[in-house]
Amino acid sequence: MMTTDYHISVMLNECIDALNISPDGFYVDATYGGGGHSAAILDKLNSGKLYAFDQDEDVHDRVPDDERLVFIDHNFQYIKNFLKFYDAIPVDGILADLGVSSHQFDTAERGFSFRFDADLDMRMNQDQDLTAKDVVNSYSEQDLTNILKQYGEFRRAYPLAKKIVQRRQSAAINTTAELKEIATPFLERNHHSKGLAQIFQAIRIEVNAEMKALEEFLLGAVDVLKPGGRLVVMTYHSLEDRLVKNLILKGSLTGEVEKDLYGNVIKPLEAVQRKPILASDEEMESNPRARSAKLRIAEKI
């Protein structure tokens, strides 16, 4: 585990080992964040190159001046386009840590966390227009229900959506504290934090179009990997993990199996190990964010 004042890297050693790094290879850190994973990859490179993606402007001043590192300030969903631009295809390995950074959660004004009272924002790319405030105040009751149910797996999605729509008719819902107060009656007893986490997760995913970005990233990653190259992805909730698992084990994001004329399953990746790697008990104790992390490793066939 690598700790900085920005972010605590989950399962750092496991991620780096999974990449099976060649000193002269080309690698991608699809989610730069605090730079912990990138620093560990650079430590193992000689003439190799690292291409790091991150759309959050807060990370820009944390990027080191290193000729082996190319920083790309865009969403990782554009991995194929930018690697083509840099003439970096194919690559030897790709790492994506899909969690929201500790910095984003701990910076109150970003509005990611229900622990602080702040404007409803939740944008990972602060240049985009759509915010959590827009979602909460303008989406229809049905759309809010769908988001809470699908992205948050929140059991009382419909009554909460109905209450949100009722409340905003008298006054806009502008802050995390206001949303938290509206949601409280719909939370399960003794599980308030879990319920709030599900609600905030659902809205954050919608604001940042996270599932669409992940789908495009995964398909692009398969295309840019060389045969034998490694795809290493760490997820933090079941929606993400299901997509990654489907692609690795079934060959498609939907989980639908396609077969050739001989009945062989058509899939571009082979799982290095069938079950995900979980953080150690010691790491979970020291870093609560590691408790939900699942690390999956695949190799391009």
Given a cut of 90, whether residue 244 has pLDDT beyond it is yes
Report how far residue 53's alpha carbon sits from residue 138's, in angstroms, rounded to the nearest whole number. 31
Which tokens hold the place of 263? 């009945």
Measuring CA to CA, which residue among 233, 228, 197, 229 is closest to residue 215?
233
pLDDT for position 100: 79
DSSP string spanning 12-38?
Answer: HHHHHHHHT--TT-EEEES--TTSHHH
Measuring CA to CA, which residue among 238, 221, 206, 190 is closest to residue 80?
221
Considering the chain, tell me which residue range(s) the CATH 1.10.150.170 domain(s) occupy.
126-207
Please, are residues 258 and 252 in contact by the beta-carbon 8 Å criterion?
yes
105-139: buried (b, 16+ CB within 10 Å) or exposed (e) per residue? bebeebbbbbebebebbbbbeeeeeebbbebbbeb
Span 226-247, average pLDDT: 97
Span 1-7, average pLDDT: 49
Measuring CA to CA, which residue among 249, 300, 241, 290 is closest to residue 273?
249
The phi, psi pair for 232, rounded to 5°, reads -125, 115
Given a cut of 90, whether residue 99 has pLDDT beyond it is no
Given a cut of 90, whether residue 7 has pLDDT beyond it is no
- For residue range 265-299, list pLDDT tens digits in order: 899 999 999 899 999 999 999 988 899 999 999 99
pLDDT for position 1: 46
Look at strands 2-3 and 8-9 and give their pairing. Answer: antiparallel
SS3 124: coil
Residue 112: band (very low, low, confident or very high) from pLDDT cuts 50, 70, 90:
confident
Burial class (CB in 10 A: 0-12, 13-18, 19+), 205: buried
- For residue range 173-189, list pLDDT tens digits in order: 999 999 999 999 999 98
Given a cut of 90, whether residue 102 has pLDDT beyond it is no
Of 122 and 7, the structure prediction assigns the larger pLDDT to 122
Given a cut of 70, whether residue 2 has pLDDT beyond it is no
Span 68-79, average pLDDT: 97
Residue 3: band (very low, low, confident or very high) from pLDDT cuts 50, 70, 90:
very low
Which tokens hold the place of 70? 């190319």
Considering the chain, tell me which residue range(s) the CATH 3.40.50.150 domain(s) occupy.
2-102+210-300
Q: CATH topology for 2-102+210-300?
A: Rossmann fold (3.40.50)
pLDDT for position 106: 65
The phi, psi pair for 54, rounded to 5°, reads -170, 130
Please, are residues 300 and 224 in contact by the beta-carbon 8 Å criterion?
no
Q: What percent of the chain has pLDDT over 90?
A: 83
Q: pTM, whole model, 2 decimals?
A: 0.93
Beta-carbon contacts of residue 245 (< 8 Å; ≥ 6 apart)? 276, 296
Q: Indicate if the alpha-carbon torsion angle 113, 76, 299, 36 is positive or negative.
A: negative
> Which run of H or E residues covers position 56?
none
State which CATH number among 3.40.50.150, 1.10.150.170, 1.10.3860.10, 3.40.50.2300 fits the domain covering 126-207: 1.10.150.170
Residue position matching structure tokens 């990611």: 112
Report how far residue 186's alpha carbon sits from residue 164's, in angstroms, rounded to the nearest whole number. 11
Please, are residues 177 and 169 in contact by the beta-carbon 8 Å criterion?
no
Measuring CA to CA, which residue among 236, 231, 205 is closest to residue 219?
231
Please, are residues 122 and 110 in contact by the beta-carbon 8 Å criterion?
yes
Q: Calculate the average pLDDT of the chain.
A: 94
